[in-house]
A and B are shown apart, each in its own frame.
Chain A
Amino acid sequence: MAGKYGVPTDPDYPKRLAEFEARIARGEKIEPGDWMPEEYRRQLIRMISQHAHSEVVGMLPEGAWITRAPTLKRKMILIAKVQDEAGHGQYLYHAAETLGITREAMLEALLSGKAKYSSIFNYPTLTWADIGTIGWLVDGAAIKNQTMLAQCSYGPYSRAMVRICAEETFHHKQGKEMVLLYAKGSPKQRQMAQDAINRWWWPALMMMGPHDQDSPHTPLLMRWGIKTKTNDQVRQEFINEHAPEILEAGLSIPDPQLRYDPQSGNWLHGPIHWDEFWQVVNGNGPMNKERLAARRKAHQEGAWVREALEAYAAKQQKAAVAV
Chain B
Amino acid sequence: MDTQWPRWEVFKQDTPSKPHQAVGSVHAADPEHALLTARHVFARRPQAVSLWVVPAEAVFSVTKEQLEAGTVPFPETPPTTKPTLYYVFRKTSHKRSMTFVDYVGEVSAAGPAEALKEAQSRFTDAEALAWWLVPALQVVKSDPSREAIESWFEPAKDKTYKQQQYYATVGSHVSKHKGAKR
Contacts and interface: CB of A to CB of B under 8 A. Distances in A.
Interface stretch (A62-70, A240-248, A274-282): A240-248
B66 A159 contact: no
Interface stretch (B113-121, B133-141, B156-164): B156-164
Contacts of A249: 171
A200 interface: no
Nearest to A173: B167
A254 interface: no
A260 B99 CA distance: 40
Given A87-B44, A150-B96, A244 B177 contact: yes
Interface string B88-126: 000100101111100000000000000000000000000
A245 B4 contact: no
B171 A248 contact: yes
B1 A176 contact: no
A94 B40 CA distance: 15
A270 interface: no
B29 interface: yes
Contacts of B59: 1
A180 B24 CA distance: 36
Contacts of B181: 265
A245 B97 contact: no
Contacts of B163: 170
Contacts of A156: 100
Contacts of B26: 90, 94
A144 to B, nearest CB: 13
A248 B180 CA distance: 13
A108 B96 contact: no
B85 interface: no
Contact of B45 (A91, A162, A167, A316): A167
Contacts of A262: 182
B51 interface: no
B99 A159 contact: yes
Nearest to A263: B182
Interface string A272-311: 0000000000000000000000000000000100100110
A170 B170 contact: no
B30 interface: yes
Interface stretch (A26-34, A44-52, A113-121): A26-34
A53 to B, nearest CB: 16
Given A31-B130, A84-B44, A159 B69 contact: no
A180 B61 contact: no
B5 to A, nearest CB: 8
Interface residues of A, number: 65
B62 interface: yes
B98 A241 contact: no
Given A90-B26, A160-B24, A80 B171 contact: no
Nearest to B66: A33
A224 B110 CA distance: 39
Contacts of B4: 102-104
Given A4-B71, A31-B130, A177 B170 contact: yes
B138 to A, nearest CB: 14
B25 A94 contact: yes
Interface string A53-84: 00000000000000000000100110010011
Nearest to A90: B41
B33 interface: yes
Interface string A89-124: 011001101000011100110010000000000000
Closest 9 CB pairs of A and B: A265-B181, A313-B29, A313-B30, A173-B167, A163-B98, A244-B177, A104-B4, A162-B98, A169-B164
Given A35-B71, A94-B26, A103-B4, 9 more contacts: A31-B63, A35-B65, A90-B41, A91-B24, A167-B44, A180-B171, A245-B177, A306-B2, A313-B29
28 contacts: A32-B61, A33-B62, A35-B65, A80-B44, A80-B159, A83-B44, A84-B44, A87-B41, A90-B26, A94-B24, A94-B26, A103-B4, A104-B2, A159-B24, A163-B98, A167-B45, A167-B162, A170-B162, A170-B164, A173-B170, A176-B171, A244-B177, A248-B171, A248-B177, A309-B30, A310-B29, A313-B29, A313-B33
